[in-house]
Amino acid sequence: MHQKSRIAVLSRDRDLHYHVALHLESKGFQAVSLPEPSQVLGFVYADPPDVIVIDLSSADCEFYQVLRDLKQDSYFSVIPVIGLMSESSVEATQWDQFPIDDFVSHPVNHRELYTRILLSLQRIRRIFDNNPLTKLPGNTSIQLAIEQALGKPMAVCYIDINHFKPYNDTFGFSRGDEVLRMVGRIMMNTVKESREGGFVGHVGGDDFVFIVPMAEAETLCRAIIANFGVIASDLFDEEEKATGYYLARDRKGKLQKVPLLGISIAVVPTDNPLMQHAGKVAEVAADLKKVAKKSKESCYVIDRRRTTEAGDCMADPGEEADPGSCEK
């Protein structure tokens, strides 16, 4: 199960990089060398590795700061970090100052390092439910995050990719997987750059969730839609972009016009007294997405209805929940 795991090696010692990478790659891992601290955060934010091996055998303040920054970030603190430490420093180490998950003595015993990496991967798979494709938190974490948001001025925003299945069937699973990773990165980076920050998760397939303060929700929906539009346009040629569709065969072999990819976002405020549990939030979001999908372009819809009658809290699926909220 570890054949595709990516291991980031952080050290200024290029000789160490060479030998560690050689050994890890011989075991089926993909090793990525990051000799400069300035490279690390950008690399991790763009495409998080499965495990980080960081050289703490020298008093390199920049790498220590990178370690602290990663572990203080709610998105990336779950990535296992294995420190390489000199034997003489281990007993004297104040572990509360070193937020690592495991360590291996330096000079490196490669067999021990390999075993520690395997154990770290197994542990993270047991403890966390992160989606293996996007590395974003999965359903257990999503439900917990929604429950924590209930009663607060927050918004649970469900993203669905419009026309994803025919795209996946026509262009193949590898292209489809790249679209899913792309949406995950766009969502994560947009939410992360917001003033308040928030939570992002991957329900599964082409369904995603982000949770942010309600005051930020519309701005972030617009930004995600805009960013998706820019990047998704590269997936199609000029003629397809001009016409707004591509030709593909259905299951009966008949050519059909398939609309280009877009996204629908259902925004559910969690300070609504009717939102008593995560299941209700998901139910409301499902109806809002039906409204959003009536638009021919990427769109977000916000549920602004607040009433004491549970049957009235939903927007009618035939009309917009808020006339001004559908971004076209």
**Dihedral Cα 141, 143, 144, 149, nearest 10 deg:** 120
Phi, psi of 304 (to 5 degrees): -105, 5
Of 3.30.565.10, 3.30.70.270, 3.30.470.20, 3.40.50.720, the CATH number of 139-312 is 3.30.70.270
For position 93, what pLDDT does the model report? Answer: 74
Please state the domain extents for the chain: 6-126, 139-312
Least confident of 166-175, 191-200, 261-270: 191-200
Please state, in angstroms and as integers, the Cα–Cα distance from residue 261 to each residue in 163, 177, 186, following that order.
6, 14, 15
Residue of higher predicted confidence among 183 and 317: 183
Residue 117 has pLDDT above 70, yes or no: yes
Q: What is the mean pLDDT of the chain?
A: 86
* Prediction pTM value: 0.64
Cα angle value 207/210/215 (rounded, 5°): 140
Q: For residue 2, what pLDDT is reported? A: 45
Q: What is the CATH number of domain 6-126?
A: 3.40.50.2300
Given pLDDT bands bounded at 50, 70 and 90, which one contains residue 24?
very high
